[in-house]
């Protein structure tokens, strides 16, 4: 199935663009999609620490942080949007 | 004056009576310092002891107070902010306004802990403060000049090692625009609640400060342990280490859109085209108008945006910003996605001394009224007032500051504008303060923050719930929890009170919370400013602000959102969301209970006693 990944802040440079369409197996999880996106050592090092997400990484599925769902095990559906970015702040 | 018994303070408050043209120094009461700390806490107490909350905010009986804190002058990160408290001419309730820049630290080095200004002068004046003398000087030659011109003229008195720092108003304040601002360092603004109009009514053009007075640190080892911890944590946290410097606050634009919270057309909905949002994003700002980042005094974060943009008539203009709030409230809230126009209008607001947030909210309201046929093209002097009109944005920011044409109506703020046309429901305000750039239907916690902020709808005084919507892990709470919102927002409000009372920046909160501040404050003063004592102070200040507001006439009905947010849903994560009246009432009631106030939102006498909030000494 196809999902869409969206990147923000310096992750646009890191992942080579604002968005990327990704083909994953049926039943794939958010973690599977992230593994597929982190297809270079640099990308992997920025996002993962061992098998876990680094603490400053935010991943949202259709606008909901995956921590509120099932974390990296959150199942994906066709057409989902996965947003990946570092924690930002503002006023 | 004998030595003040608590390190970190000078023990001196400067009181200027502009009616009598006199300044005098009064001692700071040590118990007041220990109970209210500094900054917002101390200034609120001094204001409460000086004015009647029912006074006319543009009359001589109003006052404003700016207070420093024991950390200012110690070298703590970001510790140089100023906090100003006054009765607001826009809202009629307590007004507080905060800014970075260098004035706050310079004021402390001039040898005072607080400045209280009462009365009104018959002709324009400045107040000039050095440790050797403080005086009121005539300023007719400065009246009418912009913030930048005034700053540059007065800063010329700088000496080596004793730079002169200037806090001043521009034409908007002089013209009593209800949301006029006060600025230091040209572009660092005390923006909200209309302090500029209070200064303008007093005919006070500027306050200039310089000095070299130092503070003592009572327990250097304890202070340093807090300082080291703070610096370490700021270097670890991605927001403070790098992200703010890269993108500034405008880095939030795309993310707030992602969670369906980005306002549009006077809060009619939150629907934007992705390609439009990109035009006003922090990423685009960095690639197009940004020249360099910048920092306030002692700040390693560097979120300032120093920018340049093409002028309307060719040529190039330079200035600072836009920040997130400006980009959105003078942007998509008005249907505008033209960054160059927003940036130029921001520059005008900075020069003329206007709050960009309330201006954007008021313009959006005017655009909706025009959409409904209640403001005609003739009244707008031929300007196209449709949503999306960048021409209206750039023209009206100047006309509003000068109270020219339609600008005179906008200068009264969105509530009075809409009520004057028989449509108060078109003003998106709480307590007449324009709502910030986060749609409350997308977060019940933020909605409650707007309802209960002491100053009216504010994300800085009301509690910043937006990061709670983003961050996974321990800090996150669900966005739509009636149960958790009251305690969560009370906690965020208290964090803000602490930061405002210490003279430090909100953004340090992305790296750490109270523990390093407790060590630094206890270390500087040699007194108990533990986390527990700081919480007691936070609660004391919050309740004193409420007490002031109750005396100014605030009731539980005022702690409510405009009807649109209850009646018109937005779509969040595929569901319709609104903030029903029942939910507002329930959260409000629970919040009052959490604060210890009665069911009508009033602090009971027993609470005032237990918090040791004394009666006013006015």
**CB B101, CB B350: distance < 8 Å:** no
**Which pLDDT score is estimated for B87?**
98
The percentage of residues in chain B with a pLDDT greater than 90, rounded to a whole number, is 88
Q: Looking at this predicted complex, what is its ipTM? A: 0.83
Whether the ω angle into residue B322 lies within 30 degrees of 0, i.e. cis, is: yes
| Domain interval for residue A65 | 2-86
Strand-strand pairing, A2-7 and A19-23: antiparallel
CATH 3.60.9.10 boundaries in chain B: 12-209
Residue B90 has pLDDT above 50, yes or no: yes
Whichever domain contains A69, its CATH number is: 3.10.20.30
Eight-state DSSP code of residue A73? G
Q: Taking CB atoms and an 8 Å cut-off, how many pairs form between chains A and B?
A: 85
**Which pLDDT score is estimated for B529?**
97
**CB B4, CB B45: distance < 8 Å:** no
Does any domain span residue A66? yes
CA B313 from centroid of its chain's CA atoms: 33
| B255, B324, B356, B477, best to mutate vs chain A, most A CBs in 10 Å | B255
**CB B180, CB B412: distance < 8 Å:** no
pLDDT, mean of residues B7-22: 98
Token couple for B568: 């018109």
Question: Given an 8 Å threshold on Cβ–Cβ distance, is B473 in contact with A55?
Answer: yes
CATH of B440-610, one of 3.40.640.10, 1.10.599.10, 3.40.50.10070, 3.40.50.10780: 1.10.599.10
Give the 3-state DSSP-derived string for B205-234, with helices as H, strands as E and coil as C. Answer: EEEEECCCCCCCCCCHHHHHHHHHHHHHHH
What is the C-alpha R_g of chain B? 23
Residue B474 has pLDDT above 50, yes or no: no
Which position has the higher pLDDT, B227 or B162?
B227
pLDDT in tens, B28-53: 999 999 999 999 999 999 999 999 99
Token couple for B39: 């900054």
Does any domain span residue A23? yes
**Which pLDDT score is estimated for B475?**
56
CATH of B244-434, one of 1.10.569.10, 3.90.1150.10, 3.40.1110.10, 3.30.530.20: 1.10.569.10
Question: Given an 8 Å threshold on Cβ–Cβ distance, is A9 in contact with B507?
Answer: no
pLDDT in tens, B292-333: 999 988 888 888 999 999 999 889 999 999 999 999 999 999
pLDDT band at residue B507 under the 50/70/90 scheme: confident
A22-31, B238-247, B487-496: range with lowest mean pLDDT:
B238-247
Which position has the higher pLDDT, B362 or A10?
B362
Neighbours of B52 (CB within 10 A): 13
Neighbours of B189 (CB within 10 A): 28
> Which residue among B255, B460, B572 places its CB closest to the CB of A88?
B255
pLDDT in tens, B423-454: 999 999 999 999 999 999 999 999 999 999 99
> Which residue among A18, A83, A91 places its CB closest to the CB of B258?
A83
pLDDT band at residue B91 under the 50/70/90 scheme: very high
pLDDT band at residue B470 under the 50/70/90 scheme: low
> Which residue among A85, A86, A90 places its CB closest to the CB of B249?
A90
| B258, B273, B284, best to mutate vs chain A, most A CBs in 10 Å | B258
Average pLDDT, chain B: 95
Question: Given an 8 Å threshold on Cβ–Cβ distance, is B243 in contact with A12?
Answer: no
pLDDT, mean of residues B517-543: 98
Strand-strand pairing, A81-86 and A2-7: parallel
**Which pLDDT score is estimated for B2?**
63
Question: Given an 8 Å threshold on Cβ–Cβ distance, is B258 in contact with A88?
Answer: no
CATH 1.10.569.10 boundaries in chain B: 244-434
**CB B486, CB B594: distance < 8 Å:** yes
Residue B363 has pLDDT above 90, yes or no: yes
pLDDT band at residue A67 under the 50/70/90 scheme: confident
Residue A91 has pLDDT above 60, yes or no: no
Question: Given an 8 Å threshold on Cβ–Cβ distance, is A87 in contact with B470?
Answer: yes
Q: Whole-prediction pTM value?
A: 0.95
Q: What CATH number is given for B12-209 in this structure?
A: 3.60.9.10
With an 8 Å Cβ cutoff, the interface of chain A facing chain B consists of 6, 8-10, 12, 18, 55-56, 58-60, 62-68, 83, 85-91
Question: Given an 8 Å threshold on Cβ–Cβ distance, is B510 in contact with A87?
Answer: yes
Tally the domains of chain A: 1
Does any domain span residue A74? yes
Query: How close does chain B come to A77, measured CA to CA in Å?
Result: 15
A66-80, B117-131, B386-400, B600-614: range with lowest mean pLDDT:
A66-80
């Amino acid at each position: 199935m196809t999902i869409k990944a969206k990147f923000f802040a310096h992750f646009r440079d890191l992942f080579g663009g604002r968005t990327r369409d990704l083909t994953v197996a049926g039943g794939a999880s958010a973690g599977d999609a992230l593994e597929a996106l982190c297809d270079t050592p640099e990308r992997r090092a920025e996002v993962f620490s061992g098998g876990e997400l680094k603490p400053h990484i935010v991943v949202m599925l259709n606008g909901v942080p995956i921590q509120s769902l099932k974390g990296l095990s959150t199942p994906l559906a066709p057409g989902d949007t996965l947003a990946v970015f570092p924690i930002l702040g503002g006023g | 004056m004998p030595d003040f018994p608590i390190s970190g303070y000078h023990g001196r408050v400067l009181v200027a009576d502009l009616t009598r043209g006199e300044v005098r120094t009064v001692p700071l009461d040590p118990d007041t310092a220990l109970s209210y700390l500094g900054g917002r806490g101390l200034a609120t107490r001094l204001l409460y002891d000086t004015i009647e909350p029912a006074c006319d905010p543009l009359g001589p009986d109003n006052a404003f107070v700016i207070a420093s804190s024991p950390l200012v002058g110690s070298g703590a990160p970001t510790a140089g902010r100023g906090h100003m408290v006054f009765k607001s001419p826009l809202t009629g309730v307590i007004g507080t306004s905060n800014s970075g820049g260098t004035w706050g630290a310079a004021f402390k080095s001039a040898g005072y802990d607080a400045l209280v200004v009462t009365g009104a002068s018959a002709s324009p004046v400045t107040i000039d403060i050095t440790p050797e003398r403080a005086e009121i000087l005539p300023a007719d030659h400065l009246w009418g000049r912009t913030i930048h011109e005034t700053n540059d003229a007065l800063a010329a008195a700088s000496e080596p090692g004793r730079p002169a720092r200037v806090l001043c108003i521009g034409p908007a304040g002089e013209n009593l625009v209800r949301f006029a601002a006060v600025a230091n360092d040209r572009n660092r603004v005390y923006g909200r609640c209309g302090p500029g109009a209070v200064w303008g009514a007093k005919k006070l053009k500027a306050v200039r400060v310089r000095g070299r007075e130092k503070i003592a640190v009572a327990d250097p080892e304890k202070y340093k342990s807090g300082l080291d911890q703070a610096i370490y944590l700021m270097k670890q946290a991605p927001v403070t280490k790098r992200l703010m410097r890269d993108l500034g606050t405008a880095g939030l634009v795309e993310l707030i859109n992602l969670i369906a919270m980005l306002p549009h057309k006077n809060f009619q909905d939150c629907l934007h085209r992705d390609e439009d949002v990109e035009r006003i994003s922090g990423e685009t700002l960095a690639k197009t108008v940004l020249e360099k980042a910048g920092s306030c005094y002692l700040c390693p974060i560097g979120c300032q945006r120093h920018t340049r943009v093409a002028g309307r008539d060719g040529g190039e203009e330079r200035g600072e910003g836009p920040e997130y709030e400006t980009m959105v409230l003078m942007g998509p809230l008005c249907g505008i996605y033209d960054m160059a126009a927003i940036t130029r209008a921001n520059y005008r607001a900075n020069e003329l001394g206007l709050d960009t947030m309330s201006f954007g909210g008021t313009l959006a309201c005017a655009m909706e009224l025009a959409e409904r046929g209640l403001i005609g093209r003739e009244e707008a002097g031929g300007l196209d007032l449709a949503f999306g009109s960048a021409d209206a944005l750039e023209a009206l920011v100047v006309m509003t500051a000068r109270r020219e044409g339609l600008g005179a109506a906008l200068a009264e703020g969105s509530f009075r504008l809409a009520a004057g046309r028989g449509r108060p429901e078109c003003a998106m305000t709480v307590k007449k303060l324009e709502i910030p750039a986060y749609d409350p239907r997308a977060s019940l916690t933020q909605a409650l923050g707007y309802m209960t902020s002491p100053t009216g709808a504010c994300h800085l005084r009301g509690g910043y719930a937006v990061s709670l919507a983003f961050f996974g892990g321990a800090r996150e709470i669900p966005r739509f929890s009636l149960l958790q919102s009251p305690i969560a927002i009370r906690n965020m409000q208290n964090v803000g009170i602490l930061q405002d009372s210490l003279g430090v920046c909100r953004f340090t909160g992305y790296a750490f919370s109270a523990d390093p501040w407790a060590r630094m404050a206890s270390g500087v003063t040699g007194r108990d400013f533990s986390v527990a004592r700081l919480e007691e102070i936070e609660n004391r200040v919050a309740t004193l602000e409420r007490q002031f507001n109750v005396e100014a006439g605030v009731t539980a009905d005022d702690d409510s959102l405009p009807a649109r947010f209850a009646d018109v849903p937005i779509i969040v994560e595929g569901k319709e969301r609104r903030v029903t009246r029942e939910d507002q009432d329930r959260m409000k009631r629970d919040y009052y209970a959490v604060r210890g106030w009665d069911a009508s939102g009033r602090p009971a006498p027993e609470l005032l006693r237990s918090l040791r909030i004394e009666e006013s000494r006015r």
